[in-house]
Structure 1
Amino acid sequence: MPQVSTQLNIPDCDLIRWQISESETTLAQQLVLTHEEKLDLGGIAHPGQRLEWLACRVALKTLVDNRGETYAGLWKDEYGKPHLRGLTGHISLSHTPGWATAVWHQTKPVGLDIEPIRDQFKRVVPRVLSASEIADADGQPDRLAVYWCAKEALYKLYGKRQLTFREHLLVEPFETGATQLTGYVRLPDHNETLTLYCLHVEPGLLIVAC
């Protein structure tokens, strides 16, 4: 699996991005899965999704190894948010066909999403973007992709359910090509302002929220 160098100017935060080239067997040989992880993988039927699932964990293991720590797998909380076993900090994973990514922040919750630029973002606009965000995106696929990717990253950072992307996850207007955005998680019992780091890299777009 070739590692693609991706730098983030975020203190105490490590990001890794991989272009997947291995077979499922080769990836699986690099991991010792917990019982829960074996059950999780066993529930995935699509070969491509199984490959991406494994690749994300190999990528995360590499981040841990690079810090001189021991990777012992993941566990998921009641909301399905992943955490490192036996290690502190916060993680997030994201994948898309051909690519796997992982981020590990030592002190702060973090969210990650990677996406290609696709015309299908136009179809999800009504349920994902607020009226002002729709107007700002102006139907442009690259700007719609930023809104979608940013909101996915915010959702993963928050790590709980019972929210809607359109009402509770908001992104301030931005200049096309911007590398740093401002996002919000706004609920009756939770109000948070977050920074979104936007990288225009293969296969299209990667955003880290923290």
Structure 2
Amino acid sequence: MPLYKTITPNSQTTVKIWKIEESYNDLLDSVALKPETLQRVLGMKSALHQRGFLSVRKLLAELGYDDFDLFYDENGKPHLKDGKQISITHSFIFSAVIISDSIVGIDIEKQREKIPVIAHKFIDYEFDYLKKDAPDYIRKLTTIWCVKESLYKLFATPGLSFKDYFLVIPFELKDEETKAWIDYRDKKHPYNIHFLEFEGFTCAYAVDS
């Protein structure tokens, strides 16, 4: 079964990760979709994106929900009709969903060699402790991106720059956790972030305490 991993950070929160091994047609045939969702899927130009989108519906089923329980607000943030908090992500052959009583955010990214080229767009303070010649440089850059993306989804305030508003303190990959905060309107919002690596991918998730 492509359910890859289940994580339970606390009694009110569950993370599920899916490894997308099914074909587009197999995924489409195995989930029930609202008419507007079906139109959205059919309009996607990338089969990879279609499979990622549909695999999220498989994860919803693993968590006791379906597409009819899910809706999006004007900013594109997903919500569940029962009031539980949800965040969604997919990247290449993996997707993930986190559901909680608390506000949450999650992101998965493939660890890619080209990330140093765009690092200046999402990193400022973190350059002080990163070592560009270190063997784990790309993995750490990917982790920082995932941490900031998960916080962006959690904070749900459109337009915040990763570079200007989000800060990740020094961390070691083996620890699988770090601290980060959002500096917004003269107030610092601190968070404990967890992350993990698997098969050349990084996943980070944030739970608002």
TM-score of the aligned structures, taking structure 1 as reference length: 0.88
Name structure 1 gaps, 5 residues minimum: none
Residue of structure 2 in register with 1:194 after alignment: 191
Deviation at 1:190, TM superposition (A): 6.1
Residue of structure 2 in register with 1:110 after alignment: 104
1:146 paired to 2:140: no
1:80 paired to 2:76: yes
Equivalents in 2 of 1:7, 1:75: separation in Å?
Answer: 24
Secondary structure at the counterpart of residue 10 of structure 2: coil
Equivalents in 1 of 2:151, 2:177: separation in Å?
Answer: 14
Paired AA for residue 192 in structure 2: T
Paired AA for residue 137 in structure 1: L
- Answer whether contact 1:32 1:73 (CA < 8 A) is retained: no
Using the aligned pairs only, state the percent identity.
26
Paired AA for residue 149 in structure 1: C
- Answer whether contact 1:16 1:60 (CA < 8 A) is retained: no
- Answer whether contact 1:83 1:90 (CA < 8 A) is retained: yes
Distance 1:3 1:148, change over 3 A: same
Residue of structure 1 in register with 2:85 after alignment: 90
Residue of structure 1 in register with 2:174 after alignment: 177
1:2 paired to 2:20: no
Map 1:14-25 to 2 at 5 A: 14-25=14-25
Equivalents in 2 of 1:74, 1:189: separation in Å?
Answer: 34
Equivalents in 1 of 2:139, 2:129: separation in Å?
Answer: 12
Map 1:156-171 to 2 at 5 A: 156-171=153-168
Equivalents in 2 of 1:6, 1:162: separation in Å?
Answer: 32
- Answer whether contact 1:48 1:97 (CA < 8 A) is retained: yes
Deviation at 1:71, TM superposition (A): 6.0
- Answer whether contact 2:33 2:67 (CA < 8 A) is retained: no
Secondary structure at the counterpart of residue 7 of structure 1: strand
Moved runs in structure 1, 4+ residues, more than 3 A?
none
Equivalents in 2 of 1:38, 1:73: separation in Å?
Answer: 15
Secondary structure at the counterpart of residue 51 of structure 1: helix
Deviations 1:53-76 (A, max 9, x none): 1111211221125xxxx6624211
Secondary structure at the counterpart of residue 175 of structure 2: coil
Residue of structure 1 in register with 2:32 after alignment: 32
Residue of structure 2 in register with 1:122 after alignment: 116
Equivalents in 1 of 2:82, 2:165: separation in Å?
Answer: 30
Secondary structure at the counterpart of residue 16 of structure 1: strand
Residue of structure 1 in register with 2:57 after alignment: 57
Paired AA for residue 131 in structure 2: D
TM-score of the aligned structures, taking structure 2 as reference length: 0.88
Deviations 1:129-169 (A, max 9, x none): 11x20122222111111111111111111123121000112
Number of aligned residue pairs: 203
Name structure 2 gaps, 5 residues minimum: none
What CA RMSD, in Å, does the superposition of the two structures yield over aligned residues? 1.9
Residue of structure 1 in register with 2:130 after alignment: 137
